[in-house]
Amino acid sequence: MESKYTLGMIGLGTMGRNLLLNMADNGFAVTGYDKDPNMIQKLKEDGAKHNLNAYESLEDFIQSLELPRRIMLLVPAGPIVDSVIKELEPLLDKGDIIIDSGNSHFTDTSRRAIELSDKGIHFFGMGISGGEEGARFGPSIMPGGDKTAYGAMKEILEAVSAKVNGDPCVTYIGPGASGHFVKMVHNGIEYAMMQLMAEAYDLMRTALGYSNEQIFSVFEEWNNGRLQSFLMEVTRDIFAFKDEVTGGFLIDMIKDEAKSKGTGKWTTQVSVDLQLPIPTINEAVTTRDLSKYKTLRVNLSKTYPEEKVTVENKEAFIVELEQAMYFSVITSYAQGLHLLWQASASYEYDLNLHEIAQIWRGGCIIRAAFLEDIYQAYKKQPDLEHLYADAGIASKMKEILPGMRNVVIEATKIGLAIPAFASALTYFDSLRTEKLPANLIQAQRDFFGAHKFERTDAEGVFHAIWNPVKA
């Protein structure tokens, strides 16, 4: 009797193909399915040493899998996922497992899990981070949902994930759509860090007059220190990359309009729903949108021209810029983790933040040296509400706060937009303030809308007659 495959992958694009190759390298018998014959041929070529096979027929693909069937989807998020599931349903048996490994919105994952559970099919959503290289050699994996299904996949996922100090960068995240929720927040943090690096680049280019070679050197120095991260490495290398067309640096030829696929926007939207502020992440999302108004920006730059002003003490400023970057990176992680803390309670995900920090240390896009500090902070205090409250983090923040303030002051003086840096500082100042002016807002609401207010000297809610009607 012909042996069956342990797992089947639907979607043999770069991510799906590389993940299958990773599984084959780790000794698992795997196969794939794709409607595009070219994708099947590409898998066969890349997986020749493992004799990897794939199918154009969905029925043949399904019949090739051992029971219970493990089927992983790596297709574009949205209606395509529902379409694939609809095609699969008549061909599956009760107890079979579907794993959605794309960037699906967590609410879609919740709905699909309920619908499939009613039909006896296990389903869970799984975030994967690390890009095509991570998929091929070890990503960070965030599976959440059906725990029975995760148990059937655990051995495979631990084998193919990235490793840090021998620990696999995968863990069971929690019930429901928690896996996709955590991946969504991961992407929000990624947005913030990318925006911060872009603002640092602009400060070096405009306020300091640095060349691409000098900016490369700064990012290289930062990456050799406490700011070490995958994104820092990528950003450093961009400034050394030459353009084949002009012979100059490619970065100088790229139009300044940033695109997005939506996961950052989702993070912003859910933060509003949960009433949990993440302003630095929000600014990163907003600034990408603002960048698309290129014609308007060009016209307004002529309406409001400014004289070019540079920072006088460049040596001191670059030291402070490193401090501001570190301060803001800490803040970006803190905002994302605070959102996870709130979502854990609101959606009953029961998230383990120290395990999430642990699996983000390797394989994923936001992997960084600082994640070890985060991991230790939450390991020491599993119920830690906010990263700022950790004594070790607080000590670092206090040390670099003056540099953070000076960078924001200098950028404001010379008219450079630094929305992510500025929001990180304002967020910090708001959270550390015992008495905010929100009492005035509440008074205003009561004045014009009778929305009532709470007092500092008595329990209950009150309403004042602010403007009594004169007889």
Q: Mind telling me the catalytic residues?
A: 183, 190
Rounded Cα gap, residues 204 and 374, in angstroms: 29
Rounded Cα gap, residues 345 and 337, in angstroms: 13
Neighbours of 65 (CB within 10 A): 20
Rounded Cα gap, residues 204 and 160, in angstroms: 40
Beta-ladder partners of 167: 164
Neighbours of 111 (CB within 10 A): 13
* Residue of 431, 100, 155, 135 whose CA lies nearest to 280: 431
Q: Tell me the H-state helices in 64-162.
A: 79-88, 106-117, 131-137, 147-160
Do 30 and 6 form a contact (C-beta atoms < 8 A)? yes
Signed CA dihedral, 379, 381, 384, 389: sign only: negative
Do 181 and 346 form a contact (C-beta atoms < 8 A)? no
Q: Which two tokens stand for residue 39?
A: 């994708």
Q: Which two tokens stand for residue 120?
A: 């006896």
Do 33 and 16 form a contact (C-beta atoms < 8 A)? no
Beta-ladder partners of 461: 454
* Residue of 156, 161, 155 whose CA lies nearest to 137: 161
Q: Is 317 in a helix, a strand, or coil?
A: helix
Element (H, E) at 63: helix 58-63
